[in-house]
Structure 1
Amino acid sequence: MRLLRNATPFVLAAVSASLLASAPAVSQDGHFPYVDDNCGVVTTYDAAPERAVTLSNNATELMLALGLDERMAGTSYMANLKISPQYEEAYAQIPIISPLVATTEELIEVEADFVYAGYPDGFSESRHTRDQLHDLGMKTRLNVEGCNLGAFGFSELFAEIQSVADIFGVTEKGHEVIGDLQARLDDVAQTIDGREPIPVFIYNGGDTTPNAVLGNTLMSQAVAAAGGENIFAEVANRYGQVSWEQIAEREPEYIVVFYSGTASGQLVEDPDTELGQARVDTLKATPAIANVPAIVNDRFILINSVQGQPGPSTLDAVEAFAKAFHPDAFAE
């Protein structure tokens, strides 16, 4: 655990607990067999997967952060969003199977032996269940935010990274990635130390009734780590509907506009404009929140699912939030 020396006690405890839970199954130098207990599905790995396919952008970036590009047979569901700059070179060498979630047929065609989804809808009755893929000889994993009923924070993200590292026998690389991410969190915390939290609304679309990102998401924790406070953080759920009146009453200073690269399951040609900016326009055109400070002062931060779903690029979102919420701290 040498590379976690900068971690907070809370994060260290959570990651250590995750590692200890798997200790009988894998040694710390990545020996097999390794048993992965993930969202109620127990899978034994006698060797690291060789032909992995990802079903979401955050799953793709997590694997690339661990240096696993040579173990990847393909990626899917980037839609028309862009991979984060630090992963561009490695991503360019991997086949893009589909801009949407890869189908069962596409997974069979590339001879996938491991299928990793960062969103719960990667595995479904309408596409393919995990059991169906297991019957076809493919092992699977779901990012645990997708099956977690409680709050999901950075300690859970770090445990997720370590679990994938252990599956592929790159345990020390997992420690390194987690250590780097924790150091970035610590740098932000030190920079904004002493500043009062800024009230923030995280908007996930909706015009008649607004959809909010609630307290049990990593996005909510990212806002908190950046010196903000999700105005619906107390709601113990991931996503849900609120009212314009509630937003007006809570007077957010900033609004984070969250969007993906699809709408109603269909590709969007220009998500930043057609979803991100369109949602800003909806907010500005809603009379019930016209006097909210974020609207009056034009304080919007657009965050797409590459940074907004649990993955290593969530730290990019934290840093962007912090610089917007507390610009004076970064000017010093």
Structure 2
Amino acid sequence: MSFRPHLLAAAIMAMATPALALDGFPHADVNCTVTTVFDAPPQRAVTLSNNATEIMLALGLEGQMAGTSYMGNLEISPEYADAYGAIPVLSPLIATTEQLIEVEADWVYAGYPDGFAERWHTRDQLHDLGIKTRLATEGCNLGRFEFPDLWHEIRDVAAIFGVPDRAEALIEGLQARLDAVDAALQGAEPVHVFIYNGGDAPPRAALGNTMLNSIVARAGGQNIFGDIENRYGTVSWEDIVDRNPDHIVVFYSLTEAGQLVADPRADIAQARIDLLGTFPAVADVTAVLESRFHPISSVTGQPGPSSVRAVEDLARLLHPDRFAQ
């Protein structure tokens, strides 16, 4: 066989190319007390919540996704619809262990703690199967969660995939939109907001350590239960009356009592609005008297790139005079 220098050169380049592609690896992801080492970016990622899905799509990582789940009958944000439509939806609820194995998932990303609940699969159980994991940090956060923390989450995910420049470009654009809202609201007096999360005996609220609390604050509001250092919890109708919110944000997801609903906005959000509008205990609350109810779904209310859209939309509702055409 004759010696062919060009084939040797091609072989050397083929061997060298992976090394060039692996800049930033191995990478140690320190997340919610769990450290995971990546020798290369995941190639068969699966998301277990809508906000995790949107972070992946916002970073342009749809080509490395084997599936999504837990969207139910909510809709992905319009700017990600095309990319989302090309990815298999494994389940309207949380993808099961069997489904993850079937698509050969190598990394699973959950936006909420229930993505790794024992009734589905714990992180340890998935690790034992050779599947790496991440939980969005609001889910294990013990303190306030604000937009800089979301930027950190985006950077961490980008680092796992070796695309830090994409994170910086995304964050720059999102921050510019927040800055525009800040400028419009400069000097505006915050209005009092109750973030209602359903229930009546007792009612549930989003408290001070949630992304929703930060969304309300950046939109020119003050969460009436923002002083409570927790994520979600129950409150009393008496406290709601005493704190007398000017507006009520009605937070909703894709399930009610653990069951999927056909139309979350109508079947959950509107049902909650109807309850508040007819409930005698809060009949004299300003927000109820003025019918100031503002539905926010988990697509924009949980930490993800669409949380900025939630700020923009809510700011216009809380301070319409600052956004008059």
Normalised-by-shorter TM-score class: over 0.9
Which residue identity does 2:145 align to in structure 1?
F
The list of structure 1 runs, each at least 4 consecutive aligned residues, that deviate by more than 2 angstroms after superposition, is: none
Higher relative contact order (CA 8 A, sep 6+): 1
Matched positions, count: 305
1:298 partnered with 2:291: yes
Partner of 2:13: none
Q: Which residue of 1 aligns with 2:141?
A: 148
Q: Distance in 2 between matches of 1:299 and 1:176?
A: 36
* Aligned pairs for 1:175-186 within 5 A: 175-186=168-179
C-alpha separation in 2, matches of 1:118 and 1:310: 8
SS at match of 1:37: strand
Q: Which has the larger radius of gyration?
A: 2
* 1:1-332 equivalence runs, <5 A: 30-331=23-324
Residue aligned with 2:176, SS: helix
Q: Cα RMSD over matched residues?
A: 1.2
Q: Distance between the aligned counterparts of 1:35 and 1:264, measured in 2?
A: 38
Deviation for aligned residue 1:137: 1.2
Distance in 1, matches of 2:119 and 2:125, equals 12
Q: Which amino acid in 1 is paired with 2:299?
A: V
For the structure 1 residues 137 and 65, does the alpha-carbon distance in structure 2 shift closer, same or farther, using more than 3 Å as the test?
same
Structure 1 residue 208: Cα displacement: 2.4
Q: List alignment gaps of at least 5 residues for structure 1.
A: 1-28
TM value normalised by structure 2: 0.92
Equivalent residue, structure 2, for 1:25 = none
Tell me how far 1:31 sits from its aligned partner.
Answer: 2.0
TM-score under structure 1 length normalisation: 0.90
Measured against aligned partners, the alpha-carbon deviations of 1:175-232 in whole angstroms (never above 9, x if no partner) come to 1111111111111000111110010000000122110100011100110001000001
For 2:23 and 2:285, locate their aligned partners in 1 and report how far apart those are by CA, in whole Å: 52
CA distance, structure 2, for counterparts of residue 87 and residue 66 of structure 1: 11
2:62 maps to amino acid: D
The CA deviation at 1:30 is 4.8
- In structure 2, the residue corresponding to 1:82 is in which secondary structure? coil
Q: Give the CA deviation at 1:126.
A: 1.3
Query: Which sections of structure 2, spanning at least 5 residues, go unmatched?
Result: 1-21
CA deviation digits over 1:101-124, x for unaligned, max 9?
A: 000000000000010000001002
Letter in 2 for 1:127: W
Equivalents in 2 of 1:125, 1:92: separation in Å? 30
Worse-matched range after superposition: 165-174 or 242-251: 242-251
Aligned mates of 2:202, 2:313 — CA distance in 1: 28
